[in-house]
Amino acid sequence: MRMRMRSSVFTTPSSSTLRVMRGMRSIVLAHHQPPPPLCKDLDQGRISRRSISSSSPRRLENIDLKELERLTKEAEERLKQYEEPLKRTVPLHMSIAECLRWEPESEEDNVVVQGYVRSVRGMKTYRFVSLGDGSSLAPLQAVVPVDTNQAEGLAIGAAVRLTGKWVASPGASQSHEMQVTQVDILGPSDAKTFPIQKKYQTPEYLRTIPHLRPRTPINAALLKMRSEAVAALTRFFADNHFTQTHPPILTSSDCEGAGEVFTVAPASNVAELADEDNKSKMFFRNKKYLTVSTQLHLEALAQSVGNVWTLSPVFRAEKSDTARHLSEFYMLEAEMSFVNDLDEVMDLAEDMIRNMCITMYESHTVYEFLNREGRVGSDLVPPEEVKARWEGMMADDWPRITYTDAIEFLQEHADKFEHKPIWTEGLHSEHEKFIAEHVGDGKPVFVTDYPRDIKAFYMREGQSLPDISSPGPTVQCFDLLVPDLCEIAGGSMREHRLEPLLEAMKRHNIVAGEFTSSMDGNAPTGAKAGPLDWYVDLRRWGCAPHGGFGIGFDRLLCYLTGVQTIRDMVSFPRWFGRCDC
Ligand SMILES: NC(=O)C[C@H](N)C(=O)O
């Protein structure tokens, strides 16, 4: 089996920079650390900033001192923004994550937190309340005296604001706890009927209450992680001068040509779909669909501003009842202009994911998630395995093999599979799994140059490697495979030349009849390519070689969190037969 590593690095940072960055990241934890806690000093009628939490930077070696100085300055600047709230007179609350990392030596008065009651333990004279607000897997322990009537209304699920003293805790589970002096019940809850009790609840049960499920600590952490991933990706693309765009959700065609589109009609006239001949009665005067991929529109936008990206919902009417498929999911798609080599597209995908992981790795959320203990997240892949996934993603040089070589490799192990590996038939998920596990060695694997006839019409024909002798024509494309989840991304060079594109469309039966392939510029823009006329048009005027990819964003997050089914990764999952609330 021939295996290639990347030939070039598309983006910063280089691997040596990355090593430094990893060291730096420990110092730059300030980015992820809470601001100094703020609490109201009622006696003096002002708000004062208390000491910063004790999280000391680790791994000081490898640090460039000048860079350190720059970062310190940056951190000081950042701190300035917290001076502003000091002028306010209303109480400022701390998030629970901030509070938990705050370990002052002496008692701190008039601290305010707000959140949701996760549990209440009753003792004779005190109630022990576990409070969560989504910022942390760990709860805050609040101790409420019973005799003051303050404990009334403290029920599981209630939204509360607690004011009190932040003191060292005698308990072993936390360094500090709150001795509550005032309880405000902001949103009462009936403990008896609250559907998320403090006991193990199966993922299947939680899926029946998707509107309440986000309140569980793990689901809140998943929301935070998603948000951090988006922030990291946005920064990555901005740093690399990609333009973020908003391609449409309603479209005229099935980009992938797999017939998995949802058709759109107004609720007041669903019947219009049945009467295809009467287009004038249709809302859009023709059939329209929810997008399955924004790629084709991204190609148009890339011809304006160069490299572009988007993170959009896409929809697939696939009747797949698996842990990896949803009818609605988010796809991150990028399109690069003026590139002529599939390796450059793969470099981008690789750098982007690696960079995202490195940025996120030591965030509070990811740290807590990967170091969870006990029963927290017991339905997920164990933290050690998930950590190994992150390490694979952050490693350099993900292997690249051609589809032809992959099939050869699989054929050497044919006895292990239910389906025989056959060149013309594509890879089954058992094959993808095997490749990911045995070729990747913990890293994701690019499989390239698939047979032309099993791939989409828009892919550019040819081989990335001139020395490959494949059994038939191939296209310049890749699938990115990881263990367990198999394919998480796919991309290709696009056919940017008019004639070969029209030929490919004919081969795929996308259109019937003759095409107008004139390049004289006076030809009508319609190419008799039906709903894809406009896409053909893009090839008429100034279409540079280009390529791109799409990543199943929710699948990627599943892999990085160890969530076993994509239905538990997405807050409101939709799949064949299910679209709750
Ligand atoms: N933008 C892309 O290349 C994604 C591709 N159209 C897909 O749906 O897999």
DSSP string of 283-294, one letter each residue: TTSS-EEE-S-S
Q: Within a 13 Å sphere around the CA of 333, how many CA atoms are in the beta-carbon half?
A: 25
Pick 301 or 91 by higher pLDDT.
301
What is the spatial distance between Cα 331 and Cα 310, in angstroms, rounded to a whole number?
8
The percentage of residues in the chain with a pLDDT greater than 90, rounded to a whole number, is 66
Q: Which atom of ligand 1 is nearest to the CA of 295?
A: 1
Helix (H/G/I), strand (E/B), else coil: 130? strand
Say if ligand 1 is within 6 A of residue 256 CB: yes
Q: Is the pLDDT assigned to residue 82 strictly greater than 70?
A: no
Band (62; pLDDT cuts 50, 70, 90): low
Helix (H/G/I), strand (E/B), else coil: 406? helix
Say if ligand 1 is within 6 A of residue 342 CB: no
**Cα of 426 from ligand 1 centre, angstroms:** 17
Q: Within a 13 Å sphere around the CA of 396, how many CA atoms are in the beta-carbon half?
A: 14
pLDDT of residue 192: 94
Q: Is the pLDDT assigned to residue 308 strictly greater than 50?
A: yes
**Residues in CB range of 102: below 8 A, 6 or more apart:** 34, 37, 50, 51, 53, 94, 108, 166, 176
**Cα of 29 from ligand 1 centre, angstroms:** 35
Helix (H/G/I), strand (E/B), else coil: 89? coil
The pLDDT tens digits for 244-288 are 999 999 999 887 877 789 999 999 888 888 887 888 889 999 999
Six-digit token string for 385: 């395995």
Give the closest residue to 263 by CA, choosing from 250, 246, 244, 275. Answer: 250
Q: Is the pLDDT assigned to residue 221 strictly greater than 70?
A: yes
Say if ligand 1 is within 6 A of residue 255 CB: yes
Among 331, 492, 551, name the best residue to mutate to test ligand 1's pocket (greatest count of ligand atoms within 8 A of Cβ): 331
Q: Is the pLDDT assigned to residue 32 strictly greater than 90?
A: no
> How far is the first Cα of the chain from the last one, in angstroms, to the nearest whole number?
49
Q: Which residues pair with 251 in a beta bridge?
A: 289
Among 293, 454, 493, name the best residue to mutate to test ligand 1's pocket (greatest count of ligand atoms within 8 A of Cβ): 293
For 413-423, what is the mean pLDDT? Answer: 96
Say if ligand 1 is within 6 A of residue 333 CB: yes
Give the closest residue to 381 by CA, choosing from 393, 365, 369. Answer: 369
Q: Within a 13 Å sphere around the CA of 72, how many CA atoms are in the beta-carbon half?
A: 8
- The chain-wide mean pLDDT, for the chain, equals 85
pLDDT of residue 269: 85
pLDDT of residue 566: 96
Six-digit token string for 268: 């007041």
The residue to which tokens 């058992």 are assigned: 430
Say if ligand 1 is within 6 A of residue 291 CB: no
What is the spatial distance between Cα 268 and Cα 550, in angstroms, rounded to a whole number?
35
**Cα of 559 from ligand 1 centre, angstroms:** 19
Say if ligand 1 is within 6 A of residue 295 CB: yes
Averaging pLDDT over each range in 41-55, 324-338, 453-467, which range is the top one? 324-338
Give the closest residue to 105 by CA, choosing from 56, 142, 53. Answer: 53
Alpha helices, H only, 176-287? 203-207, 217-239
Q: Do residues 135 and 34 lie in contact, with contact meaning Cβ atoms separated by under 8 Å?
A: no
Q: Which atom of ligand 1 is nearest to the CA of 548?
A: 3
Q: Which residues pair with 19 in a beta bridge?
A: none
For 559-564, what is the mean pLDDT? Answer: 96
Q: Which atom of ligand 1 is nearest to the CA of 333?
A: 1
Residue with the smallest CA separation from ligand 1 atom 4 is 550
Burial 224-235 (b: 16+ CB within 10 A, else e): bbbebbeebbee
Q: Do residues 221 and 369 lie in contact, with contact meaning Cβ atoms separated by under 8 Å?
A: yes
What is the spatial distance between Cα 110 and Cα 544, in angstroms, rounded to a whole number?
63
What is the spatial distance between Cα 88 and Cα 230, in angstroms, rounded to a whole number?
32
What is the spatial distance between Cα 309 and Cα 335, in angstroms, rounded to a whole number?
6
Q: Is the pLDDT assigned to residue 23 strictly greater than 70?
A: no
For 407-424, what is the mean pLDDT? Answer: 96
For 10-25, what is the mean pLDDT? Answer: 41
Give the closest residue to 379 by CA, choosing from 564, 206, 244, 515. Answer: 564
Alpha helices, H only, 309-424? 342-361, 364-370, 383-394, 403-412
Among 549, 551, 555, name the best residue to mutate to test ligand 1's pocket (greatest count of ligand atoms within 8 A of Cβ): 549
What is the spatial distance between Cα 486 and Cα 445, in angstroms, rounded to a whole number?
10
pLDDT of residue 529: 67
**Residues in CB range of 205: below 8 A, 6 or more apart:** none
* Cα 413 off chain centre by: 34
The pairing of strands 243-244 and 308-315 is parallel
Helix (H/G/I), strand (E/B), else coil: 10? coil
For 112-122, what is the mean pLDDT? Answer: 95
- Lowest mean pLDDT of 64-68, 184-188, 331-335, 398-402, name the range: 64-68
Order of strands, sheet of 263-264, starting from the edge strand that comes earlier in the sequence: 250-251, 288-290, 263-264
Say if ligand 1 is within 6 A of residue 550 CB: yes
**Cα of 558 from ligand 1 centre, angstroms:** 19
Say if ligand 1 is within 6 A of residue 491 CB: yes
The pLDDT tens digits for 443-481 are 999 999 999 999 999 999 985 455 557 888 999 999 999
Say if ligand 1 is within 6 A of residue 549 CB: yes
169 φ/ψ angles, rounded to the nearest 5 degrees: -95, 135
Q: Is the pLDDT assigned to residue 66 strictly greater than 50?
A: yes
Band (160; pLDDT cuts 50, 70, 90): very high
Say if ligand 1 is within 6 A of residue 293 CB: yes
Band (574; pLDDT cuts 50, 70, 90): very high
pLDDT of residue 511: 67
For 56-69, what is the mean pLDDT? Answer: 58
For 344-362, what is the mean pLDDT? Answer: 97
Residue with the smallest CA separation from ligand 1 atom 8 is 293
- Lowest mean pLDDT of 1-5, 423-427, 429-433, name the range: 1-5
pLDDT of residue 89: 45
Band (570; pLDDT cuts 50, 70, 90): very high
Pick 545 or 151 by higher pLDDT.
545
Q: Do residues 115 and 95 lie in contact, with contact meaning Cβ atoms separated by under 8 Å?
A: no
Six-digit token string for 4: 């290639």
Q: Which atom of ligand 1 is nearest to the CA of 456?
A: 6
Asked if this assembly's ipTM is beyond 0.95, the reply is yes
The pairing of strands 243-244 and 263-264 is unpaired
For 186-212, what is the mean pLDDT? Answer: 94
Q: Is the pLDDT assigned to residue 425 strictly greater than 60?
A: yes
Pick 191 or 516 by higher pLDDT.
191
Say if ligand 1 is within 6 A of residue 548 CB: yes
pLDDT of residue 515: 54
